[in-house]
Structure 1
Amino acid sequence: GVAGAVMQKFVTYRVRLAVVGDVSRHLDDSTALRDFVHETNQGGHIWFLPDLDTLDDRLRTAG
């Protein structure tokens, strides 16, 4: 829905988006969300990350 449209704008304009925080409780409750987070984390534009240290590591390796 709306979230997907907003995220698509980030991809279209080649702007990275990081959602930082623990979403594990929500992932446990939703297979669709778990699959979505997994797929987006495989790409280079949208990441779901548990904390800022993980974001820092991801940015260093993303180049």
Structure 2
Amino acid sequence: MMILKYFIPGNLISLHMTIINSVVIVGLYYRFLTTLSIGPSYILLLRARVMEEGEERIKSYFYINYE
């Protein structure tokens, strides 16, 4: 009986909203899982890039000020 109440024309909007909410929740869940699986390697890549840029800034600072 619970399922049949959704097929009354007035409740089709409610059924639609329930389905949309479920899709959004599942999408957010899988996006979170994907982010966690990519995260560590991406964090290491960003760390290497930041350290490389930091070294370049230090070198440029010393070359400009002490030449």
By the TM > 0.5 criterion, same fold? no
Question: Structure 1 length normalisation: TM-score?
Answer: 0.30
Larger radius of gyration: 2
Q: Determine which structure has the larger strand proportion and give its number.
A: 1
Q: Determine which structure has the larger helix proportion and give its number.
A: 2
Question: Structure 2 length normalisation: TM-score?
Answer: 0.29
Query: Which structure has more RCO (C-alpha within 8 Å, separation ≥ 6)?
Result: 1
